Amino acid sequence: MATLILIRHGQTLWTEQKKYQGHTDVRLSVKGRQRMNLLSKRLDKIGIDFLYTSPLKRARESCAILSRRIRLKPHMDSRLKEMDFGVWEGKSAKELIAAKEPAYLSWMKGKWRTPCGGESLGRFRRRIRNFLRECFKQHKDQKVGIVCHGGTIRIMALEVLGLPMESFFSLRVEPGSFLILEKK
């Protein structure tokens, strides 16, 4: 049985401002670093055997804080990046709604639209699914820590639990928190 410890990076200024980050390389805020220090104490007790991270700064900084405590060298994997939100990046939901951005209004109604210049949900899901297949094959009977992003964690949870895409928005993963999933 493989155990995945899915760890969302700490807060950034954009997280605090409720802006879409996607592939934009935003650093952790002071609050984000503090939260990750607290979280690393809890995760140290779990006994992680292997550690992955997204290459985006907010995930790498979070992982660096964690890896110092658990003494594991993280392995970077670009498949763990957040979804690319294209022109939505740097904007909040309020701004996109006020601008009456058509693809975003459809997105909020559960009609999955690809943001202009962004990544389709299907492509995002396939990249996460490929990572999971490889991870489960390579890390049988191990506890694997994965430092990544809210959307990435949601897709992983849907895949592992066999939930439909409609469940995507019902899953909440706060910055600087973690979710444990086991696959038999």
What is the pTM (predicted TM-score) of this model? 0.94
Q: What is the DSSP string of 93-153?
A: HHHHHHTT-HHHHHHHTT---PPTTS--HHHHHHHHHHHHHHHHHH-TT-EEEEEE-HHHH
Annotated catalytic, 9? yes
Instruction: Report the distance separating Cα 130 and Cα 92, nearest Å.
Output: 30
Which structure tokens are listed for 158? 């849907």
- Per-residue confidence at 161, pLDDT binned at 50, 70, 90? very high
CB-CB contact of 158 with 16 (8 Å): no
Q: How many domains does the chain have?
A: 1
Please compute the mean of the pLDDT values over residues 110-116 and round it to a whole number: 89
For residue 170, the model assigns a pLDDT of: 86
Given 16, 61, 82, 159, the catalytic residue: 82
11: in domain = yes
Annotated catalytic, 139? no
106: in domain = no
For residue 110, the model assigns a pLDDT of: 81
Residue 6, domain extent: 2-83+141-183
Which phi and psi angles does 67 have, rounded to 5°? -65, -30
What CATH number did the domain enclosing 29 receive? 3.40.50.1240
Long-range contacts of 164-170 (CB under 8 A, 24+ apart): 165/112, 165/121, 165/125, 166/110, 169/110
- Per-residue confidence at 56, pLDDT binned at 50, 70, 90? very high
34: in domain = yes
152: in domain = yes
13: in domain = yes
112: in domain = no
